[in-house]
Structures are given as C-alpha cells and as structure tokens.
Amino acid sequence: MPNRRSSAAESQGEDLAARLLAEAEALVRRDGPDGIALRELARACGSSTMAIYTLYGGKPGLMQALYALGFARLHAYALSAEHRDAPLRWLVRQMLAYRRFALDHTGLYSLMFGGEKRFAPAGRNSRFASLAVPVEDAYPAFAALVDAVGACLAHHRERAPSASEVQDLAFLVWGQMHGHVGLEIAGYADPDDALGRYRNAVRFICAHCGADPTDVNAELAAAG
C-alpha cells in the first residue's frame, strides 16, 4: 500500500527514481561505493528492490547514474569558482574547489576516480582529443578546468597558447589535484597539513603558468 502513484512523496515533486538516487547518494556518502545494499535502499524509500531494476536496470545502472550525478556535482563546484575576468583567481579557486568537492563527497569521489575503470569509455570528443573521459557526463566539469587553465596561461604569456599546450597543462593540473586529493582521502596525508600541501601544489602549478608568486599567495589568502 505504500508508494501509490499519487503519494505524499510524489506531491513533493520527487518521483521514485529521484528518491532512489538521492537516497543512494546518502548511502554512498555514509558507507562508500561498496556500502550500497539494494534492500536497504529500497526499504529507505518504502519500495522493493524491483523498482531499482525497472527504473535503473539493476545495481550497475544505479551506480552509473550516481557516477553521472557526481560529475554534475563537480561541475557545480567548478562553476562556483569561475572568474573569467581574473584568470589567476579563476585557476586558484578552481583547484581549491576540486579539493573541496572531493572532501565534501568522498564517497562519490571514490566511485568516480577510485580503483579500476568501472564504466565504458564514451566516444572521443574533439575538444578533449587527448583527455579521455569515460562518459559524456564528465565533459562539462573538465571543460571548466581546461577553460580556466587556458585563460590563466593566455593571461601570463605574451602569445596565445596552443590548444595542445593548454591540454598538456590541464592534464598536469588534473593529475596534481587528483594525486593530492586521492592520497588525502586514502589516508596518506597528514590531516593537519593536507591543506598546506595542497596550497604548495597550487603554487607549483601557477608558477608554471608564469604567475607572480606574490599574486598567487594573495589569491590563496583571499580564498581562505
């Protein structure tokens, strides 16, 4: 008798599929990607496990939906860091936002980047010719990174950087961010000094862009 087509939950504008996904995100936040039990998820939503199969095709389908949701969340963090009129601020805040996202959503982050490849790669996109990304859902978040790196590089160099130059540096930046954050989440960073170390990485990258270290420190201080 619960969960009729016109139940109170639906009147809130959340249909069953959305509620399942939201609850799954809560579970992945609490217990990590491997902590999702379909029975518990269904019980929390007042339905049975069959709903997950008809709506998402099974657990892998649900995980892939969570995967896409993770990139949507990451994209939102990236947008909040956008400063097209101040390229250095843009890049600095973009890098800090990446870490903030990872620490705010460790479960999703582990699902997206932890361990071995889980999802089939998407078709190549000309804009990311050498920045392979598993699924299309990831494009917007990485476009934001490439744009920030490109803007910062263009601002601190006399001539406009080439596309491959920007992509090379963007991958380096991404690697630096993911490396630090991944180590931190896995427990390899001193909790008292992790932010300081991450700031070192930001300075490292910005210096390579040609930015003045004093300006970088000012941006870091302003960003908190």
* Interface with DNA (CB under 7 A): 2-6, 16, 36-40, 42, 46-51, 53-55, 58-60
Is 66 within 8 Å of 119 (Cβ atoms)?
no
Measured from the CB atom, the residue of 26 and 172 that comes closer to DNA is 26
Report the residue from 47, 64, 94, 176 that binds its own copies according to the rule CB under 8 A. Answer: 176
Taking the CA atoms of 111, 186, 30 and 80 in sequence, report the sign of the dihedral they define: negative
Residue pair 21/66 in contact (Cβ under 8 Å)? The answer is: yes
179 lines the binding site for its own copies (CB under 8 A): yes
Residue closer to its own copies (CB basis): 76 or 132: 132
Spatial CA neighbour of 63 closest among 11, 159, 12, 137: 137
Residues 71-110 that bind its own copies (CB under 8 A): 106-107, 110
According to the binding rule CB under 8 A, does residue 140 interact with its own copies? no
User: Cα 24–99–140 angle (5° rounding)?
Assistant: 70
Is residue 210 within the footprint of its own copies (CB under 8 A)? no
Name the nearest CA neighbour of 176 among 80, 102, 77, 71: 102
Residues of the shown chain interacting with its own copies in the complex, contacts defined by CB under 8 A: 32-34, 106-107, 110, 112-117, 119, 121, 129-134, 168, 171-172, 174-180, 182-183, 185-191, 193, 197, 200-201, 204, 208
